[in-house]
C-alpha cells in the first residue's frame, strides 16, 4: 500500500496515528477536520478489517466532522460481505478498498458452494468465512501440488533414504530437502486459484518468494454496496471506465417496490385510529399520515409505514458513538424516509438530508388557567373537601361514637328506645349509638335521647359541628357549580399573562423561584438552550442544571403535569404542540408564544438518497394548492374540543356529574338487600329449629284445650292499660 502510494499516486504523508479502538481513531479524525481545511482529507486505514469497519461506522454517525471531506483507503483486502452488510452506512462515505476474491469468478462460486454443501448437515449453515479461509485453501493447493512434483522428481529418492526420524524429537532434527521443496513452491503456478493466479517471483530484485502476476479488484462504496473501479497487480493500477448508475426520478428502494417510512406516535401528527380491526397503514391517522398520502399521490409510489423501535426522534449518543431514533434508522438503512414532527437541526443535517420545511413552529409556554373549572367527574360532590378533610371527618365520626358510647355506659342508657316488641324501654348497644350519630349528622330524629348532662353536652357539640360542616359543604359545592367562563377568559390577570413575553416569564420564574418552568429532557429546546447566547436563556440553563426535577421525558407527561398543578408549573414546548393541547379537553390551559425563535419540521432522508429534489417539488406543489393549510385547519381547528379556542366552564348538571351520587344510593340499596337477606335467612333458620324442638303433643296442644264459655265468645277482648303496664314493669 505504501509503495503504491509513494510510487504511483504520489501520496504526501502528513501524519501517522497508532490507534487501538474506533474511539481513538474518531478523536484523531476530528483533529484533521479543521474549519480552514476545504481540500479532501485522504486517510489510509492500515488496520485489521474488523477495526476498520468499526472506525467507519463510528465516523458516519459522528456529528463533529464533515464526512464529505474525507476519503478513506483500506490497506487490508476485504470480502464482498464487508461492503454489502453495512451498505447504507458505508454508502454515505467515500471509501476505497480491495477485494481479496472476485465474487464473479467461477472458482470462488464453486469454493463457496462446496463449503455450503459440507455445512448442510450442521446446525449452523451460515457461511461466515474470513479472508484467511480463502488464502489457506490456495496455500494447501500450492503445497500439495509442489509435493506431488517433488515426489515425481529424481532428487526425492535421495531425501527419503536414511534412518527414520522421530517427528516428536526435542529439539527437532530438520529433514533434508527443505531448500529443494522451497524451490518447487517458488516454481509452482496455479492459474485457477480462489484468490486469483498463484505464482511466485524467483528473481533477485525482489524478496524471494513474493507473489506476482496476481490481480486484486479495486472497489469504492456506493449506495447499493460497492462498484468495481479498477484492478491492482502489485506493480500497476488499471482503472476501468465505469460510470455511476443514474437514478430515475423516483427510484424504488426494496424488492417490494415500497418506500419504508419510519414515524412515531405524536398527536396530532400521527395517531392510532379509534376504529377497530384496522391493520397496516390504515391503523394510523393524523397530519403526517395525510401528508404521506398526498406525497404518494403526487409522486405515484407505495409505502410501508412503521413506528420507530425506540420511540425517539433521533439524537447522538456520545457513549455509544451512534444515533438513535428515526435518524439512526435512516443511517442504518432500515428506513427510506422519516416523516413526523421532526425538527431540522444543524447536527442532524450532518448525517442525513432534510427537505424544505413543511411546517414552522415557535417556542411557547403553557400553564394552568387559574380560573378554569375542575374537571367533571362522577364523584364531583366529593370535591367539596380535600381528601385530608374527609379523613378528618370520618375520624371525628368514629371518635364521637366511641365517646358517646362510653359516657352512656357509665351514666345510663339514653331514654326512649323503642324495642322490637313495641314496648318502650332502655337498652345500651353500640348499634343504637351509631344510629344516633348518623341521624344527628343529617339532622334527623332517631328516637334516641341522651339522659345525662355529659352526654347532652357532647351531643350539642356534635350538632354544632355537623351543622357548620353542612354549611361549608353546601358553600363549597355552590362555588364549584357557579362558573362564568366569559368573564374569566377576559380577566385582567389572564390578559396581563398573555401580554408577557417568553423571556419575561422565564426571568420572573428564575428570580422569584415560582412558578417552575420545565422542558423535555434531551429535547430540542434543551439543545437550543445549551447553544444560546441570550443571558436569560443562559440563566435558565443553569436553573435546569440545579433543578432537574422540572424536566419530563415526553410532551404528554409535561402537559399532564401542568394540568395537575395549581399554576405552580409551566411547560415549554413548540407552539404547534401547545396549540393542540390548548384545544383539548378539559380546556384548562393558557398558551403564550414567542415569535423570536422558529424551528422547521422537515422530512429526513438518508445521506445517499436521491429523493430529496422529487419530494421538495411535491411539497411545493402541495403547498401551492393550499393543502398544507387545509391539514392545519383539519387537525387543529376543526378537531378542537374547546369552543372558539377558549377555556370552557365544565357543566355539572349532566347525568355523568350525578352518576357518583346515584351509584352511592344504589350501593346503599344493595347493602340493605344483602343485610335483609341475611336477617331473613337467620330468622327462618331459628324458626325451623324451634319448630323441630316442639313435641307432637305441644304442636297439638290447642286441640286438647277446653273451649271457652259461650257467653265470652261474643265479647271484645280486654284493653290493656299501657301506663299501668309500664308502671308494673318499672316496679
Locus of grid cell 348532662:
453
Q: How far is Cα 686 from Cα 276, in angstroms, rounded to an integer?
A: 57
What is the CB-side half-sphere exposure of residue 218 using CA atoms within 13 A?
18
Cell match 457513549: residue? 319
Closest by alpha carbon to 436, among 466, 474, 469?
466
Classify the C-alpha dihedral 682-685-690-691 as positive or negative. positive
Closest to 339 (Cα-Cα) out of 264, 253, 423, 422: 264
Beta bridge partners of 425: 417
CA–CA separation, 588 vs 516, rounded Å? Answer: 18
Q: Which of 611, 715, 705, 616 is nearest to 248 (CA)?
A: 611
pLDDT at 508: 82
Name the pairing type of β-strands 95-99 and 70-74. Answer: parallel
Q: What was the pLDDT predicted at 157?
A: 60
**Candidates 3.40.190.10, 3.30.1340.10, 1.10.1530.10, 3.40.50.300; CATH matching 492-598+628-637:** 3.40.190.10
pLDDT cut 70: percent of the chain above it: 72
Q: Where in the chain is the domain with CATH 3.40.50?
A: 2-105+196-239
Q: What is the pLDDT of residue 596?
A: 62
572: closest CA among 559, 582, 587, 585?
559
pLDDT at 190 over 80: yes
Given a cut of 90, whether residue 339 has pLDDT beyond it is: yes
DSSP for 90-119, written as a single string: HTTS-EEEEESS-TTSHHHHHHHHHHHHHT
Q: Is the pLDDT of residue 639 over 70?
A: yes
* Tens digits of residue pLDDT in 481-523: 664 444 444 444 555 556 667 778 888 888 888 788 899 887 8
Which range, of 163-167, 193-197, 356-360, 573-577, averages the lowest pLDDT?
Answer: 163-167
For domain 380-483, the CATH architecture is Orthogonal Bundle (1.10)
User: pLDDT tens for residues 612-637?
Assistant: 999 999 999 998 888 999 999 999 98
The verdict on whether omega for the bond into residue 268 sits within 30 degrees of 0, i.e. cis, is yes
The 3-state DSSP class for residue 650 equals coil
Backbone angles phi, psi at 442, to 5 degrees: -105, 15
Location of each CATH 3.40.190.10 domain in the chain:
259-366, 492-598+628-637
What was the pLDDT predicted at 340? 94
Query: Cell for 457?
Result: 353536652
pLDDT for residue 37: 65
pLDDT of residue 634: 92
To the nearest 10 degrees (0 to 180), the angle between helices 131-152 and 178-187 is: 110
Contact 521, 613 (CB under 8 A): no
The closest alpha carbon to 579, from 359, 338, 311, belongs to 359
* Phi, psi of 251, rounded to the nearest 5 degrees: -70, 140
Question: Residue 411: what pLDDT?
Answer: 67
Mean pLDDT across 588-594: 81
Question: What pLDDT is recorded for position 10?
Answer: 59
Q: How far apart are CA 545 and CA 548, in angstroms?
A: 6
List beta partners, residue 99. 78, 217
Of 162-171, 194-203, 288-297, 389-398, the range with the highest mean pLDDT is 288-297
Using DSSP's 3-state secondary structure scheme, residue 264 falls into coil
Three-state SS for 168? coil
Q: What is the band of 204 on the pLDDT scale with cuts at 50, 70, 90? A: low
Condensed to tens digits (0 to 9), the pLDDT of residues 319-336 reads 888 899 999 999 888 899
Q: Are 581 and 589 in contact (CB under 8 A)?
A: yes
Cis peptide before 287 (omega within 30 of 0): no
pLDDT of 171 reads: 75
- Give the best-scoring range by mean pLDDT among 77-81, 410-414, 658-662, 701-705: 77-81
Residue 650 has a pLDDT of 42
578 vs 374, more confident: 578
Q: Start-end ranges of CATH 1.10.287 in the chain? A: 380-483
Grid cell, residue 322, equals 451512534
C-alpha cell at 284: 394510523
Q: Between 497 and 143, where is the model more confident?
A: 143
* Biggest alpha carbon–alpha carbon distance for the chain: 162
Three-state DSSP state, 655:
coil
The arithmetic mean of pLDDT across residues 201-225, rounded, is 72
Predicted TM-score (pTM) of the model is 0.61
What does the pLDDT average to over 411-426?
A: 50
Q: 195, exposed or middle or buried, with CB in 10 Å at 0-12, 13-18, 19+? A: buried
Query: What pLDDT does 498 receive?
Result: 60
Q: Average pLDDT, stretch 404-417?
A: 67
Which contiguous run of DSSP H or E holds residue 570? strand 569-574
pLDDT number for residue 598:
79
Residue 709 C-alpha cell reads as 264459655
Q: What band does 565 get if pLDDT is binned at 50, 70 and 90?
A: confident
Percentage of the chain surpassing pLDDT 90?
Answer: 13
pLDDT in tens, 33-52: 876 666 788 899 999 988 99
Question: What per-residue confidence (pLDDT) applies to 706?
Answer: 60
CA 373 to each of CA 195, 367, 484, 494, 498: distance values in angstroms, whole numbers, following the listed order: 80, 14, 10, 15, 19
Can you state the angle between helices 535-546 and 524-531, rounded to 10 degrees? 120
Q: Is pLDDT above 50 for 705?
A: yes
Gyration radius of the chain's alpha carbons: 46
pLDDT at residue number 246: 36
Mean pLDDT, residues 228-233 taken together:
82
**pLDDT exceeds 60 at position 248:** no
Instruction: Summarize pLDDT for 101-139 with one digit per residue, the tens.
Output: 887 788 888 887 877 777 666 655 566 677 888 888 888
Q: How far apart, in Å, are the Cα atoms of 459 and each of 398, 407, 436, 540?
A: 14, 11, 10, 59
**Which range (1-10, 55-64, 311-320) has the least confidence?**
1-10
Residue-level pLDDT at 161 = 57
Annotate 27-96 with DSSP letters as a single string. HHHHHH--TT--S-EEEEE-S-HHHHHHHHHHHHH-SSS-GGGEEEEE-S-B-HHHHHTTHHHHTTS-EE
What residues form DSSP beta bridges with 343?
A: 601
Asked whether residue 421 carries a pLDDT value surpassing 50, the answer given is: no
Domain 259-366 has CATH 3.40.50.620: no
2-105+196-239 fold: Rossmann fold (3.40.50)
Instruction: Tell me which residue has cell 423561584.
Output: 513
Which pLDDT does position 695 carry in this prediction?
Answer: 54
Q: Is 516 exposed, middle or buried (0-12, 13-18, 19+ CB in 10 A)?
A: middle
* Mean pLDDT, the chain, integer: 76
Q: Is the pLDDT of residue 207 over 80?
A: no
Amino acid at each position: 500500500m505504501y509503495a503504491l502510494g509513494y510510487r504511483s499516486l504520489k501520496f504526501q504523508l502528513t501524519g501517522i496515528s497508532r490507534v487501538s479502538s474506533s474511539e481513538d481513531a474518531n478523536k484523531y479524525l476530528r483533529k484533521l477536520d479543521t474549519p480552514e481545511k476545504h481540500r479532501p482529507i485522504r486517510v489510509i486505514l492500515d488496520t485489521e478489517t474488523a477495526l476498520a469497519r468499526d472506525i467507519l461506522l463510528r465516523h458516519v454517525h459522528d456529528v463533529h466532522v464533515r464526512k464529505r471531506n474525507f476519503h478513506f483507503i483500506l490497506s487490508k483486502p476485504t470480502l464482498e460481505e464487508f461492503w454489502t452488510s453495512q451498505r447504507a452506512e458505508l454508502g454515505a462515505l467515500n471509501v476505497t478498498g480491495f477485494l481479496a476474491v472476485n465474487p464473479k469468478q467461477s472458482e470462488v462460486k464453486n469454493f463457496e458452494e462446496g463449503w455450503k454443501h459440507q455445512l448442510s448437515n450442521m446446525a449452523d449453515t451460515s457461511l461466515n468465512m474470513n479472508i484467511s479461509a480463502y488464502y489457506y485453501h490456495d496455500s494447501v493447493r500450492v503445497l500439495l501440488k509442489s509435493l506431488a512434483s517433488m515426489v515425481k522428481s529424481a532428487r526425492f529418492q535421495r531425501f527419503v533414504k536414511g534412518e527414520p526420524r522421530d517427528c516428536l524429537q526435542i529439539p527437532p532434527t530438520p529433514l533434508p530437502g527443505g531448500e529443494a521443496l522451497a524451490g518447487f513452491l517458488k516454481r509452482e503456478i496455479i492459474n485457477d486459484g480462489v484468490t486469483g493466479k498463484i505464482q511466485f517471483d524467483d528473481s533477485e530484485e525482489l524478496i524471494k518468494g513474493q507473489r506476482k502476476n496476481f490481480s486484486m479488484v479495486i472497489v469504492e462504496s456506493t449506495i447499493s454496496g460497492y462498484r468495481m473501479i479498477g484492478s491492482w497487480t502489485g506493480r500497476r493500477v488499471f482503472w476501468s471506465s465505469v460510470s455511476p448508475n443514474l437514478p430515475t426520478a423516483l427510484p424504488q428502494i426494496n424488492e417490494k417496490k415500497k418506500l419504508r417510512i419510519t414515524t412515531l406516535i405524536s398527536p396530532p401528527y400521527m395517531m392510532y385510529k379509534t376504529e377497530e380491526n384496522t391493520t397496516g397503514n390504515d391503523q394510523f391517522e393524523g397530519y403526517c399520515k395525510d401528508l404521506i398520502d398526498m406525497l404518494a399521490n403526487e409522486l405515484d409510489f407505495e409505502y410501508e409505514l412503521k413506528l420507530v423501535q425506540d420511540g425517539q426522534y433521533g439524537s447522538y449518543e456520545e457513549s455509544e458513538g451512534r444515533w438513535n431514533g428515526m435518524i439512526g434508522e435512516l443511517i442504518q438503512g432500515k428506513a427510506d424516509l422519516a416523516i413526523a414532527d421532526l425538527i431540522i437541526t444543524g447536527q442532524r443535517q450532518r448525517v442525513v438530508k432534510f427537505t424544505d420545511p413543511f411546517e414552522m413552529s415557535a417556542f411557547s409556554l403553557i400553564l394552568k388557567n387559574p380560573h378554569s373549572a375542575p374537571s367533571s367527574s362522577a364523584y364531583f360532590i366529593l370535591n367539596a373537601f380535600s381528601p385530608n378533610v374527609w379523613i378528618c371527618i370520618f375520624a371525628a365520626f368514629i371518635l364521637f361514637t366511641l365517646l358517646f358510647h362510653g359516657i352512656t355506659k357509665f351514666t345510663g342508657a339514653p331514654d326512649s328506645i323503642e324495642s322490637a316488641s313495641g314496648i318502650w324501654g332502655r337498652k345500651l348497644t353500640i348499634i343504637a349509638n351509631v344510629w344516633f350519630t348518623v341521624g344527628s349528622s343529617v339532622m334527623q330524629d332517631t328516637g334516641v335521647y341522651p339522659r345525662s348532662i355529659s352526654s347532652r353536652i357532647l351531643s350539642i357539640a356534635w350538632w354544632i359541628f355537623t351543622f357548620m360542616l353542612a354549611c361549608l359543604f353546601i358553600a363549597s359545592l355552590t362555588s364549584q357549580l357557579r362558573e362564568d367562563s366569559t368573564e374569566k377568559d377576559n380577566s385582567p390577570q389572564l390578559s396581563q399573562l398573555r401580554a408577557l413575553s417568553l423571556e419575561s416569564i422565564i426571568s420572573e420564574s428564575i428570580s422569584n423561584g415560582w412558578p417552575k418552568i420545565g422542558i423535555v429532557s434531551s429535547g430540542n429546546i434543551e439543545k437550543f438552550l445549551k447553544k444560546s447566547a441570550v443571558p436569560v436563556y443562559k440563566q435558565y440553563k443553569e436553573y435546569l442544571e440545579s433543578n432537574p426535577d422540572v424536566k419530563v421525558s415526553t410532551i404528554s407527561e409535561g402537559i399532564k403535569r401542568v394540568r395537575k398543578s395549581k399554576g405552580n408549573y409551566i411547560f415549554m414546548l413548540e407552539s404547534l404542540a401547545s396549540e393542540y393541547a390548548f384545544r383539548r379537553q378539559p380546556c384548562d390551559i393558557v398558551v403564550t408564544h414567542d415569535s423570536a425563535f422558529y424551528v422547521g419540521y422537515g422530512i429526513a432522508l438518508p445521506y445517499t438518497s436521491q429523493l430529496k429534489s422529487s419530494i421538495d417539488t411535491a411539497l411545493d406543489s402541495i403547498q401551492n394548492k393550499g393543502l398544507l393549510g387545509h391539514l392545519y385547519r383539519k387537525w387543529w381547528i376543526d378537531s378542537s374540543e374547546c369552543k372558539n379556542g377558549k377555556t370552557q366552564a365544565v357543566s355539572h348538571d349532566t347525568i355523568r356529574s350525578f352518576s357518583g351520587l346515584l351509584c352511592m344510593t344504589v350501593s346503599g340499596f344493595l347493602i340493605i338487600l344483602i343485610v335483609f337477606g341475611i336477617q331473613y335467612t337467620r330468622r327462618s333458620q331459628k324458626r325451623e329449629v324451634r319448630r323441630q324442638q316442639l313435641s307432637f303433643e305441644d304442636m297439638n296442644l290447642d286441640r286438647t284445650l277446653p273451649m271457652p264459655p259461650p257467653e265470652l265468645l261474643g265479647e271484645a277482648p280486654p284493653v290493656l292499660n299501657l301506663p299501668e303496664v309500664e308502671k308494673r314493669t318499672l316496679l
